[in-house]
Structure 1
Amino acid sequence: MPYSIYVPNRYILNVSTLGPFQNATSLHNDRIGLFHGDITTLSVDAIVNAANLLLLGGGGVDGAIHRAAGPKLLRECRTLHGCPTGSAKITNAYDLPCKKVIHAVGPIYNVNDPADSEIALRGCYRSSLELAVRHNLKTIAFSAISTGVYRYPTADAAHVACDTVREFMDSNDGPKLDKVIFVTFEEKDARSYNLLLP
C-alpha cells in the first residue's frame, strides 16, 4: 500500500512502499522513455491498450483507442473471445498511426491481496513485451494499466511497470526491442513515473 506525503502548496503525493526503482542503469536510458500525452497519436510499432476482459472497448484509454482505430478494431476484437486478467492479445491498428494494438487486461486492485494484483499486473507487461517480440515489433508504448477505474495505486503500478520492463530488457529477448515508452495522460501517473525513471 502507498502512503502519503504532503508537499506544502503543491499536492499530496502517494509514495510506493516498494521503494525506488532498483537496478536501473544509464544503459536503460536510450531504450526506455516517457511520454506525457495521447497514446493514440504515437507512430510506434505497437501501443498497449488497458483493456477489459471482453476486449470490446470501454471508457478511458480503452475507449479512446477504439474510437481512434475505427469500427474494424472492434470487429477483430470480437473474434478473440476475450482475454484473461494478467495477459494480452494483439490486433491490427486500423486507423491508428501505429502498426499493432496489444490489449492487456489489468487487475482490479485487491486491497486484501496486493501481491496477487502485482502478479497479474506484471503478467500484463510481460505478455505484452513477449507479443511484441514474437511479432517482430521494435517499438512499444504502454498506457498506465489498471491505474484508472481499476484503482491500482499509481506509484505502485508505475514501479511494477518499470521493474518488469527493466527485467525484460535485460533478458535474452530484451535486445530485440529498440524502445519501450511509458505513456502518461493523467498528472498522477506522470508524477509517479517522473519519480521513478532516471
Structure 2
Amino acid sequence: MRRIVEIAPDGPRPSISLRPVPPCEPPFDDEIEPLMWASAHQLALDWSPPALLRVAAEQAAATTPAGPPALVPEASREAKLAVHHFVRACVEVLSGHRPPAHLRKLAVPAEASAVVAQGLVGARRVAQLRRAGPGRRSARRPSPVAVIKLRMCQPRPGVVEAAVALVTGERTWAMALRMELHQQAWCATILRLI
C-alpha cells in the first residue's frame, strides 16, 4: 500500500492511503456496443405472440377485475429498515464483533438454526481468510467486512428479499436473504452466503 504525505504551508496534512478498487461486478452484456456482439448471420426473431394468443390475452384482461399487482418492486419503509438492521447484524457477525447466535432473535423460530448456521459458516470463512492472507501480521488490525451494494425487492406484501455485495480485504462476497412479516415483526427466513 502506498502512502503519500504532502507538506502544506501550515504544516503536514494527514497521510492519504491509496488502495486499489475491488472488483465488484463484471461488465454486463448491455454495456458492450451492439456492433461487437452482433453477427451478420444472426437471424431476426419475432417474439410477438401469434394473433390467437394476443386476442385471448386481451379478452382475459378485459374480464379479469383489476386487482393488486403481482410484484411490488419497491419495499416498504419498515421492510427496508428491517433489512438494514439484519444486514448490519450479519456484518458484525462476519467481522467477529458479535456471536452468530445473535441472529437467532432476528429469524423466524422454525428457520433460526439454519440462519445461525449460515452466519457461523460465514464468520469461519472470514476468519480463515484473515489467517491465510499473505504477509499478515498478528499486530495488524484485520480488514473489516463492509457492504458494497444492497438491493432489495418486495415480491409480495409481507415478504422482502435482498441481495448484498460484501467485501473484506480483497475478497468480495455475496449474501442473499429473505425476510417475512411474522407476528408483526420482520424476521429472516433464509440467509445464504456465497
TM-score, with structure 1 as normaliser: 0.25
Larger Rg: 2
Higher strand share: 2
TM-score, with structure 2 as normaliser: 0.25
